[in-house]
């Protein structure tokens, strides 16, 4: 999600991010129901890989930045603070986000 809301969007990053979300949305619940299904687990792994493809090459957005500050101040894990802040950040950016 964070890559979709980065300050510098591009069509390749956006496409990979959306494919990542699609894989995880579809296959995480199926994997929970049937954890021995290797195809479901593979699709989750591909979704996770796609989500990280551009992380080193882009600026992450507000949710990530706020998460670092809150986490450091309140000693909360970064992933939790970013996830908690994401809905508010998505609402803030709603009118400005370009999905290629």
Domains of the chain, by residue range, sit at 2-93
**Predicted local distance difference test score (pLDDT) of residue 1:** 73
The model's pLDDT over 24-48, given as tens digits with 9 standing for 90+, comes to 999 999 999 999 999 999 999 999 9
Residue 62 neighbours by CB distance under 10 Å: 19
Pick the CATH number of 2-93 from 1.20.1090.10, 3.20.20.150, 2.60.120.430, 1.10.287.70: 1.20.1090.10
Q: Rounded to 5 degrees, what are φ and ψ at 36?
A: -85, -5
Is residue 18 within 8 Å of 47, Cβ to Cβ? no
Q: Per-residue DSSP letters for 73-92?
A: HHT--HHHHHHHHHHHHHHH
**Predicted local distance difference test score (pLDDT) of residue 33:** 98
Residue ranges of the chain whose pLDDT lies below 70: 6-7, 54-60, 96-100
**Tokens, residue 19:** 């494919």
**Predicted local distance difference test score (pLDDT) of residue 62:** 77
């Amino acid at each position: 999600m964070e890559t979709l809301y980065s300050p510098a969007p591009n069509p390749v990053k956006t496409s990979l991010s959306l494919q990542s979300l699609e894989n995880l949305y579809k296959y995480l619940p199926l994997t929970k129901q049937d954890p021995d299904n290797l195809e479901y687990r593979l699709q989750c792994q591909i979704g996770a890989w796609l989500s990280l493809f551009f992380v080193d090459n882009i600026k992450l957005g507000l949710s990530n930045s706020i998460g670092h500050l809150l986490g450091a101040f309140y000693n909360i894990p970064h992933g939790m603070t970013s996830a908690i802040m994401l809905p508010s950040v998505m609402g803030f950016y709603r009118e400005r986000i370009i999905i290629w």
